Structure 1
Amino acid sequence: MTTPFPLLRLPWLALVPVFEQMEQIDVIAFSLLSKRAKNLSKTLRKISAGSINITVRSHYPRITINLRDDTSVGLSLYTEKVPNAANRCGVLNKTMSCEKGSITVAKLVERIASVTSCESLEYVVLRGPLQLEVCDTLALLTKLGQLIIVHDCSDSFAKKALKIVSPVTTEITLYRIPFETKYGFQNFLKSNLNYLYIYNCFSRFTLDDLLVTNALKLKLIQVKLKARDISQFLTKWFHSKHNSRLEHLSLFLDEVVNEMCLPRVLKAVPFPRNRERTFFYSKQLDTSSESFCGGYDIKRTDGKKATILFLAGHGLSFIDFYFWR
């Protein structure tokens, strides 16, 4: 039987070289044992994390800590007892594991952020059913880079997370739309996001719902839309007086749609294909501007202008709408 080493009983000067020789993942794992262990780890060993990311699965969240030295540390909070973890934390193959119940998700993220001097989460990926502990963690955030909701995340979990996180994040990716009604979906679209990406068939809603969006950049990928859907959306935009923040709408369709879908009422004016022009976003997004050639210019009844670009090939279509400020 091995006698545990009384690390916390060592004098201060003896602890300093011990922490200097410890792997970063071991320091982080040690910090999760208690409040005193966290304070020692934070004081005796400086660890700098670029981001902390959480993937919430059906039974446990997995937390990835991306360190400044281009390495990463994985941590999983299991629902069952972890072998040799002594109801606390264990480290195996550069992955930490904790038994659920030994520490809450909220406290776990709080301690990791404290020890690694990381001020916010980079992204959170939600999977599986509603987990109240995870929602408690999200409620503590003051800043979140990106929220990702995948197909198997329940509607109730997704809606609760969106309600909590929308005010503190600028980018949301939806692999499912968790709203049953147009009112709920449109209310969400009014959030002041920088980016909104939707990977969904879009079957329950139409492009017309996007007329109220306040996202600066909105991308729909592999949506089930027809040429008439594009035409109807443009006609409604032409007559609309809604002052949306939307600057760029990008559509990736799994069928060919070309400029023949443009309704006559728009009086679209083709722009020369051999002339390049630049669209500047009002904020620095993934890029500050985009340059392109060709396209069709249209002017709304209230004077607002937009440019539409079509690119088709191999049974696919890429359509970009740029709304000039």
Structure 2
Amino acid sequence: MTTPFPLLRLPHLVLMPILEQMDFMERIALSINSKRARMFLKLLKMKCEHINLRLEDNRVEMKVFFDNSEELKVDMYTDRYKINLRYGNDHIFWWSGTLSPIDYVLPIMDVTHCKSIKELTFPRVSDYDPKYDAHIPLLTKLKKIDEVIVENTTSWCFSPHSPLLKVLRIIFPVSSAVTISDQVGKPKYLREVFKGNFDAVSVSLPWEIEGFSLNDWRIANAKTLKLDLRMTNVWSFMGMANVKSLGGSDFKVEDVNRYFKLWMKKKCNPRLENLIVRTRENVTKDLLLKGLNAVQVPIRTDVKLLRSDEEITFEFDITRADGRRATIRISNLQIVYFYVWPICQNQSSFMRRFSSFSSFYNSCIEHFK
């Protein structure tokens, strides 16, 4: 009969060197099984770069990314309580009895000093019976989520009484951004997302969308707004999947112009900082800038664009009565960029304005990629 070794009862000066000699998987296993051990393991500063989660019916996939290019992958199954761990070339299977995903995700986040989830993804949403009940205890414990991503969904999944929307309402208050990467054909189901207090909202819309009007666009409350228009398989083939686009049978360049006029009158989203629009029509500067008193400015060349074959053909500044300024850029690919300048002192200095605009613009492009 083997007598258990009282590892955690050792003096601190003895215990810490032992923990330092453990390999990574041993540390993770110990952190999951003991709160006291986790307290000591945190002193080793096993910091990760970020953590991603994917929730799919009875499965939770957790990926922990470290700065040494290594990755810890944890697959959890809520119906069988089967845990599959992989770190680098190490592959371990655990059959852990009655532990739920919350008993793995939170301890690993704690011991790797991770305060938020970078991406929380719903990869495939079942239309009729998505099994989210087992995930709710975990979702309610997450304190911060950088981005929620919903893939392969339908309009029904966002209807008022759908299981998915009920789950999303749990995590929306702690989420910074929402990306709905499949086509949702009924904008009325997305109004709750548009009205949310998010930093960024990205929604894919089908080419022939019904009922999407300027009013749906006006209610958006996000700082960064992406509305991606997709024709099945066509835009992906052309490399346009990541281009911000807004269109449909009843959305035209005139609507973009009307939105800019609403911004000039302070009658639309007061939080808006950037927007990129791709229309179905040829974008002419006369039609787009009608009534805006736009002033043409030199085209800046140090700002990143969405595509390598894209170039800016015109660039204009517009200014509201309160002095707030925005820049409108028109590219050769029928893409309109709209960026609101940050409020800062001494904006009359051209070099300061140039540096501020370039940094802001490039940060937006990096977010959209």
TM over 0.5, shorter chain: yes
Cα distance, 1:258 vs structure 2: 1.7
1:118 aligned to 2:114? yes
Give a deviation string over 1:111-163, Cα, whole Å, max 9, x none.
Answer: 21222232222221112334123233222222221111111484434423432
* SS across alignment from 1:48: coil
Q: Is the 8 A contact 2:85 2:93 kept in 1?
A: yes
Task: Summarize deviations over 1:244-287 as a string: whole Å, max 9, x none.
Answer: 1212111246x5632268268x32556446354999xxxxxxxx
Partner of 1:139 in structure 2?
A: 140
2:10 to 9, 12, 18: 12
Partner of 2:104: 108
Alignment of 1:220 onto 2:216: no
- Corresponding residue for residue 179 of structure 2: 173
* AA partner of residue 134 (structure 1): H
Alpha-carbon deviation of 1:15? 5.9
Q: Distance in 2 between matches of 1:304 and 1:296?
A: 14
Matched, 1:249 2:271: no
TM-score, normalising length from structure 1?
Answer: 0.72
Letter in 2 for 1:274: P
Specify which of 307, 315, 318 is matched with residue 335 of structure 2: 318
Percent identity of paired positions between Structure 1 and Structure 2: 21
Give CA deviations for 1:146-186 in whole Å, capped at 9, x if unaligned: 1111114844344234322222222221114669562x522
What CA deviation, in whole Å up to 9, does each residue of 1:81-123 have, x standing for no partner?
Answer: 58xxxx6776674455555863222232222122223222222
Give the Cα–Cα distance (whole angstroms) in 2 for the partners of residues 98 and 256 of structure 1.
57
Deviation for aligned residue 1:293:
7.6
Does the 8 Å CA contact 2:55/2:123 hold for their aligned counterparts? Answer: yes
Answering whether residue 26 of structure 2 is matched by residue 66 of structure 1, we say no
* Contact 2:48 2:112 (C-alpha < 8 Å) held by counterparts: yes
Distance 1:29 1:297, change over 3 A: same
State the one-letter code of the partner of 2:330.
F
Contact 2:297 2:316 in 1 (8 A): no
Measured after TM superposition, the shift of residue 20 of structure 1 is 2.6
Give the unaligned 5+ runs of structure 1.
Answer: 280-291
The correspondence of residues 32-71 of structure 1 with structure 2, limited to 5 A, is: 32=32, 34=33, 36=34, 38-44=35-41, 46=44, 47-71=46-70
Larger relative contact order (Cα-Cα within 8 Å, sequence gap ≥ 6): 1
- Asked whether the 8 Å contact 1:145–1:169 carries over to 2, the reply is yes
C-alpha separation between the residues in 1 aligned to 2:119 and 2:51?
A: 7
Specify whether residues 269 and 207 from structure 1 end up closer, same or farther in structure 2 by C-alpha distance, changes over 3 A only. Answer: same
8 Å CA contact 1:297–1:305 kept in 2: the answer is: yes
The alpha-carbon distance between structure 1 residues 310 and 207, as it changes in their structure 2 partners (threshold 3 A), is farther
What does residue 365 of structure 2 align with?
A: none
Q: Does the 8 A contact of 1:295 with 1:310 survive in 2?
A: yes
**2:176 touches 2:198 (CA, 8 Å); kept in 1?**
yes
Distance 1:222 1:181, change over 3 A: closer
Counterpart residue number, 2:283: 258
Given the superposition, is the C-alpha separation of residues 205 and 65 from structure 1 closer, same or farther in structure 2, using an over 3 Å criterion? farther
Query: Does 2:45 match 1:28?
Result: no
8 Å Cα contact 1:151-1:176 kept in structure 2: yes
Which whole-Å CA distance do the structure 2 matches of 1:26 and 1:125 have between them?
28
TM-score between both structures, scaled by the size of structure 2: 0.65
Confirm or deny: 8 A CA contact 1:60 1:77 kept in the other structure.
Answer: yes
Deviation by residue 1:169-218 (Cα, 9 ceiling, x = unmatched): 22221114669562x52232122222222233272452521111111111
Is residue 201 from structure 1 mapped to residue 206 from structure 2 by the alignment? yes
Looking at structure 2, the residues matched to 133 and 60 of structure 1 have their Cα atoms a distance apart, in angstroms, of 9
CA distance in 1, matches of 2:211, 2:182: 12
Partner SS state of residue 251, structure 1: strand
Question: What is the rounded CA distance, in whole Å, between the counterparts of 2:185 and 2:171 in structure 1?
Answer: 16
**Cα distance, 1:223 vs structure 2:** 4.0
| 1:234 is aligned to 2:259 | no
Contact 1:78-1:100 at 8 Å conserved across structures = no
In the alignment, structure 2 segments of 5+ residues that lack a partner are 125-129, 232-246, 304-311, 344-369
